[in-house]
Amino acid sequence: MSPNPATDLKSHLAGLFTTALEVVAPEATDTPVVLERPKSAAHGDYACNVAMQLARRLKRNPRELAQRVIEQLPNSPWVERAEIAGAGFINLFLRPEARREVIRSVLAAGDAFGRIGVGGGRKVQVEFVSANPTGPLHVGHGRGAAYGASLANVLEAAGFQVAREYYVNDAGRQMDILSVSAWIRYLELCGEAVPFPPNGYQGDYVRTRATELRAIDGERFRRDAAAVLERLPEAADGDEDAIEIRMDALIARAKALLGEDFDHLTRFVLERQVEEIRDVLSRFGVHFDLWYSERSLYESGRVAQVLEVLDQAGHLYTQDGARWFRSTAFGDDKDRVVQRENGLFTYFASDIAYHHDKFQRGFDQVIDVWGADHHGYIARVKAAITASGTDADRLIVPLIQLVALFQGGEVVKMGKRSGSYVTLEDLMDDVGVDATRYFYLARKCDQHLDFDLDLAKSQSNENPVYYIQYAHARVSSVLEEWDGDRIDLATTDLAPLDAPAELVLMQRLASYPDAIEIAARDYAPHIVAFYLKDLAAEFHSYYNGTRFLVDDEAVKRARLALVLAVQQVLRNGLALLGVTAPDRM
């Protein structure tokens, strides 16, 4: 049976090198054989650096060693020739018939082409977005959403079991401030004049929550403005400390005046905020298996339980009435407070409990997608994981850099609802979901992103997402004009495919599983975005210089099989990025 270029071929080629090493260096047959795709098709289909790996160990010249390996490579019906390049790389060039086999593999596998088994079914959790439910998602959250969702898709394609999770920060002072902000706007609607605090949550969404609250509960939460403002501490403009003290006093007054109704109001506002976030993300094509509540960690007692375990192990101590975690013992730059002198737990305490729970749920690896401003937080979380008895290397933290929007060469602000930042919903309304998803992935996540709105909306070859989608639509147009049975193309004779452009396209198709493997290994879904752009470029070049519906039936069917395979891979890759594959543009 012919090797499958997507799976068996690579193993077959690695076996050739292992056989050669048994003769050239029998003491080094345990050396792993790594095959990679050269950046240029002129350098062959695969490159192997085994001679360079062994040169130092064997104290031999790498190019001479490479020549000996080539001389001992067994004959293969799939290898045309092997050449030495550079300091000792061995480049393999496949026979045309070997390259053609990828077309059959693609058409046979369909949507499953590119799915590989390197993950081995290991369980991975990807937690991403996890924005505080205190306002709309902004464009920075959007980049994290696109990255996390696409990374999860790539990991699944690579053979991992993936769980997608959103951590809802629904506990603590920030939720109290949101509740008070909505309550004051609610009181305004009821005719009670209470000055809005400068450190309250701004934006139309707070007024929306207040309007919803009054529509459902009427004046249930109405209290006299005089009672709300009675003996509140004064706070002069610009006095940040006094402003924060006044907010704390206002929160305490709201809780005293509303009693149990304050908790009802908080839950109502929280549920509406989370529902709005969920709706925006759903429109963005992002879905989660679990929305995990921070509040549940406190209500279940997990925070106290995990801290008690750390205390019993000697990892906590008390100083100035507060409890501290000895994070410096595990590589952090200073120890961290987990419980304040007033008895309240810190956010770090709940993060310790949350990560402990993640590993208790049986994940082999945990991936936290954080904003770049959280870089300094990694060491303390890893310290807590280590102290809990888990290998901290099982936590991976990709950092998402900032996004700047440009239009006409100028930074643009489009915020309609927040008053201070651009929402993800605004961006989707302006350029569409497909362009937004792709442009977010057009650069590595740890690089600053300049998002060109004009380019994202343009229907031109300079717009990468349009360029890729247009390639998919062009194939549909050709196949529609042909109007034959596409299923039969899977078994057609491919021998007529021998033009350089066709061989390059087939080589590119065969490298798609490699792109998936690299993207999964490096937590880099942008690799798939780059791959699709390259594949589209090679297809457009082929399309512009080739007639498909020729009189020669064998040539016509072979070319149609090739472009149908190209379309399938384009569709598979776009699906991983959360981008649609239209049949018409």
Q: Is 73 helix (H, G, I), strand (E, B) or coil?
A: coil
**Contact present, 576 and 157 (Cβ < 8 Å):** yes
Question: pLDDT at position 39, please?
Answer: 81
Question: pLDDT at position 237, please?
Answer: 86
Choose among 501, 484, 457: nearest CA to 564.
484
Question: pLDDT at position 43, please?
Answer: 87
Residue 252: count other Cβ atoms within 10 Å of its Cβ.
12
Question: pLDDT at position 37, please?
Answer: 87
Per DSSP bridges, beta strands 161-168 and 395-396 are: unpaired
Question: Among positive and negative, which fits the CA dihedral 118, 120, 121, 127?
Answer: negative
**Contact present, 51 and 61 (Cβ < 8 Å):** no
DSSP state of 4: P
**Contact present, 453 and 444 (Cβ < 8 Å):** no
Strand order in the sheet with 395-396: 290-293, 161-168, 123-127, 365-368, 395-396
Q: Is 234 helix (H, G, I), strand (E, B) or coil?
A: coil
Give the CA-trace dihedral at 390, 392, 398, 399, to 10 degrees.
110
Residue 310 token pair: 């750390």
**Contact present, 526 and 401 (Cβ < 8 Å):** no
Residue 383 token pair: 């310290």
Helix or strand (DSSP H, E) at 36? strand 35-36
**Contact present, 5 and 13 (Cβ < 8 Å):** no
DSSP state of 445: T
Count of alpha carbons within 13 angstroms of residue 139, beta-carbon side = 28
Question: pLDDT at position 433, please?
Answer: 98
Residue 21 token pair: 């090493």
Question: Among positive and negative, which fits the CA dihedral 480, 486, 489, 490?
Answer: positive
Question: Could you give the domains of the chain?
Answer: 8-94 (3.30.1360.70), 128-290+401-454 (3.40.50.620), 461-577 (1.10.730.10)
Tally the residues of the chain: 585
Phi, psi of 273 (to 5 degrees): -65, -45
**Contact present, 549 and 461 (Cβ < 8 Å):** no
Question: pLDDT at position 40, please?
Answer: 80
Q: What would the 3-class secondary structure string for 377-445 be?
A: HHHHHHHHHHHCCCCHHHEECCEECCEEEEECCEECCCCCCCCCCCEHHHHHHHHCHHHHHHHHCCCCC
Q: How far apart are CA 343 and CA 321, in angstroms?
A: 9
pTM, full prediction: 0.92
Q: How far apart are CA 342 and CA 299, in angstroms?
A: 18
Q: How far apart are CA 308 and CA 304, in angstroms?
A: 6
DSSP state of 123: E
Question: pLDDT at position 8, please?
Answer: 73
* Cα-based angle 65, 69, 74 (whole degrees, multiple of 5): 175
Identity of the residue numbered 443: R
**pLDDT less than 50: residues of the chain:** 1-7, 416-418
Question: pLDDT at position 149, please?
Answer: 98
- Find where tokens 């139309």 sit: 204
Question: pLDDT at position 3, please?
Answer: 46
Question: Among positive and negative, which fits the CA dihedral 428, 431, 433, 439?
Answer: negative
Cross-strand partners of 371: 400
